Amino acid sequence: MPYLTETMESVLSQDLQDLEVIAVNDGSTDGSGEELDRFAALDSRVTVHHQPNSGWPGMPATAASTSRAVLLSCSWTQTTRSPAML
């Protein structure tokens, strides 16, 4: 789970601050859902969706269907972003 924390920190450290972060907990049992909830409690840009495991197509589909944005960028647990990515 340290990868999740690093990923979320890198996304929230973007130069572009006007962003919406939709995190999907896809049935994980390793504490990831609680870690995502911690980020949501600290930063109003973060929304967390908890759902049963749905396999690969479920996660991006959930995020895309709930987003208010015109453009989407996806990150996975082991992905960190440079501050200028967005």
| pLDDT tens, residue by residue, 21-62 | 988 888 889 999 999 999 999 999 999 999 888 776 666 777
What token pair was written down for 68?
Answer: 């208010």
Locate the domains of the chain by residue range.
2-66
User: Per-residue pLDDT averaged across 4-33, rounded?
Assistant: 90
The reply to whether the predicted model has a pTM over 0.95 is: no
What token pair was written down for 74?
Answer: 């996806």
* Residue where the block lists tokens 């049935």: 27
Question: Angle between the 2-12 and 32-42 helix axes, to the nearest 10 degrees?
Answer: 20
Please write the tens of the pLDDT for every residue from 56-84. 666 677 777 778 776 777 776 667 777 87
* Residue where the block lists tokens 């479920």: 58
CA distance 15 to 83: 5
Q: What is the maximum span of the chain, computed from C-alpha positions, in angstroms?
A: 33
Half-sphere exposure of 50 (CA within 13 A, CB side): 10
